Amino acid sequence: MKCEDNKDNSDEIQRLKQSYLYRNFCGLQLEIKQIYLKLFEENIQQAIQQQNQKQIEISEKQIEISEKQIEISENYIEYINSEYQIYIQDLQQQNIEPNEYLLEYHYIPIEDEIFIQSKNNIKFINQGDLDFYEQSNLFKKTIQIDTIKFNNKNIMHLKQFQIITYQDKQEIVQERFSYFLKFKDEKDNYKYNQNISDPEFRILNNPKMMLNTNIIDGYMNYLQIQDEINYFSLPPSKRKQYKRLILFPSSLITNCILRQQEPKKQEFIKSKFLCLFLEQIKQFSAIQYKFWRIYQKIGFVVNSSNFHWQFIEVKVDDRLLVLYDSQFTHLSSQVVFFFNTVFQALTKDMNFQFQVEKKQNFLKQWDGTSCGYYACIAANYLSQLQLDENIRYKIMTQMRFELLELFFPNRNLTINDNISNQQ
């Protein structure tokens, strides 16, 4: 019975497939499929065209940006070359031997001071003003002052926070640390020429976070200011024996790294190194930029490859770079090239070459993030070296407390005890 029913159904299906209605329905399905396929292909083509148009627009913008970068780079290269020629001419015109300078030390009652010129002959740079000049000098009972002479002629005076040079009978006053005197009483985030705010507090409050440029360069500026105050608080006899401190921020070495659009030619690299460095020390142009005749302790903080902090002590007379490195790695060849290039020009000795010496007894870090603290420890050690003959390196806990109290004296500290494991 079931077999007969199945046979009847099969016959019915065959008659239906042969009918006109079924054939029309199948044709309609095919036509709909073709329409949908055509619409799909059109949508695909439209999407491809839109994507191509976007890519063209992006490419045009990239070309426009590249052209602007090239234009900026060309202007920058032109500026470097121009400044380089000016500096070279300046250096070539000065033929004074460094040893011909005479440095004298004075302790002068203010009413007898013979170095203050008429107000009409005072020129201020670094955004200084006469009122500020009077407040920082003229109202003191006495003035500690160093005089640099050449051929019995005063060419430079050194006072606390000021360098004074003379040009065409005009007294030119340059502030050494104008940012400190200008902002020291203001309660804002601008401290020691750096923006110090909540991100820096979070970094210092977390032992696993690496110090950033603001904290480290701010601390370098702080150490310089403290040394300036210490030095000019001493009488002449002790100042004569004192080795002064100058520290250069990490931004100096960082800015010397090649940009993408800059030429890789060695001559341009040398020009750039010299221009950027002389811009940092232009206050010492009256003594041929030989700042090491005033500052015997010279330090540079370096952010190696943008992930590891190092500190370098520069001994110019010994032609030695002393590397303080908590990971005991090497000093970048580009950094050594920078120092050789600059001091070859300043000493006018093309054979001048630094040797690199690692500080063997320096502290070692046991993690991957605390190198910035150890760079600060090295700078602190150099700054205190002559004040305490038995000076020892700070431990990281002490350094973190010092940075927190320096930058955030009114904030609650939550130093984690486990940092002792990092010593």
Whether 92 has a pLDDT exceeding 80, the answer reads no
Whether 135 has a pLDDT exceeding 50, the answer reads no
CATH label of the domain that carries residue 303: 3.40.395.10
pLDDT (tens digit, 9 = 90+) per residue, 377-402?
A: 999 999 998 766 678 899 999 999 99
Same domain, 227 and 129: no
Tell me how many domains the chain contains. 3
Indicate the average pLDDT of the chain: 75
Is residue 180 a part of any domain in this protein?
no
Whether 318 has a pLDDT exceeding 90, the answer reads yes
**Contact between residue 87 and residue 117 where contact means Cβ atoms under 8 Å apart:** no
Is residue 164 a part of any domain in this protein?
yes
Whether 156 has a pLDDT exceeding 80, the answer reads yes
Is residue 331 a part of any domain in this protein?
yes
Same domain, 111 and 197: no
Domain end: 93, 120, 146, which one?
93
Same domain, 110 and 165: yes
When mean pLDDT is compared across 52-66, 229-243, 266-280, 385-399, the lowest value belongs to 52-66
Same domain, 284 and 359: yes
Domain end: 137, 152, 175, which one?
175
pLDDT at 419: 41
Alpha-carbon torsion angle 387, 391, 393, 395, nearest 10: -100
Domain end: 93, 110, 128, which one?
93
Q: How confident is the model at residue 269 (pLDDT cuts 50, 70, 90)?
A: confident
Is residue 159 a part of any domain in this protein?
yes
Please state, in angstroms and rounded to a whole number, the distance separating the CA atoms of residues 280 and 285.
11
How many angstroms separate the first and last alpha carbons of the chain? Answer: 96
Radius of gyration for the chain, computed over Cα atoms and rounded to the nearest angstrom: 35
**Contact between residue 199 and residue 218 where contact means Cβ atoms under 8 Å apart:** no
When mean pLDDT is compared across 88-97, 154-163, 192-201, 330-339, the lowest value belongs to 88-97
When mean pLDDT is compared across 169-178, 204-213, 388-397, the lowest value belongs to 169-178
**Contact between residue 276 and residue 84 where contact means Cβ atoms under 8 Å apart:** no
Is residue 181 a part of any domain in this protein?
no
Same domain, 256 and 366: yes
Owning domain of residue 83 = 1-93
Greater pLDDT, 357 or 409:
357
Q: How confident is the model at residue 420 (pLDDT cuts 50, 70, 90)?
A: very low
Same domain, 152 and 267: no
Same domain, 150 and 226: no
Same domain, 311 and 229: yes
pLDDT (tens digit, 9 = 90+) per residue, 402-415?
A: 999 999 887 765 55
Same domain, 70 and 84: yes
Please state, in angstroms and rounded to a whole number, the distance separating the CA atoms of residues 50 and 58.
12
pLDDT at 372: 95
pLDDT at 82: 65
Same domain, 191 and 289: yes
Is residue 391 a part of any domain in this protein?
yes
Is residue 25 a part of any domain in this protein?
yes
Same domain, 116 and 263: no
Is residue 396 a part of any domain in this protein?
yes
Q: How confident is the model at residue 237 (pLDDT cuts 50, 70, 90)?
A: confident
Q: Is the dihedral of CA 316, 322, 324, 327 positive or negative?
A: positive
pLDDT at 71: 45
Please state, in angstroms and rounded to a whole number, the distance separating the CA atoms of residues 64 and 84.
30
Q: How confident is the model at residue 107 (pLDDT cuts 50, 70, 90)?
A: low
DSSP string covering 323-357, please? EE-TT--PPPHHHHHHHHHHHHHHHT-TT--PEEE
Whether 81 has a pLDDT exceeding 80, the answer reads no
The stretch 97-109 carries a mean pLDDT of 59
The first and second tokens of residue 107, run together, are 């302790």
Residue 302: strand, helix, or coil: strand
The stretch 47-73 carries a mean pLDDT of 59
Whether 215 has a pLDDT exceeding 90, the answer reads yes
Please state, in angstroms and rounded to a whole number, the distance separating the CA atoms of residues 230 and 210.
31
pLDDT at 381: 95
Q: How confident is the model at residue 85 (pLDDT cuts 50, 70, 90)?
A: low
Greater pLDDT, 104 or 378:
378
Whether 169 has a pLDDT exceeding 80, the answer reads no
Same domain, 203 and 274: yes
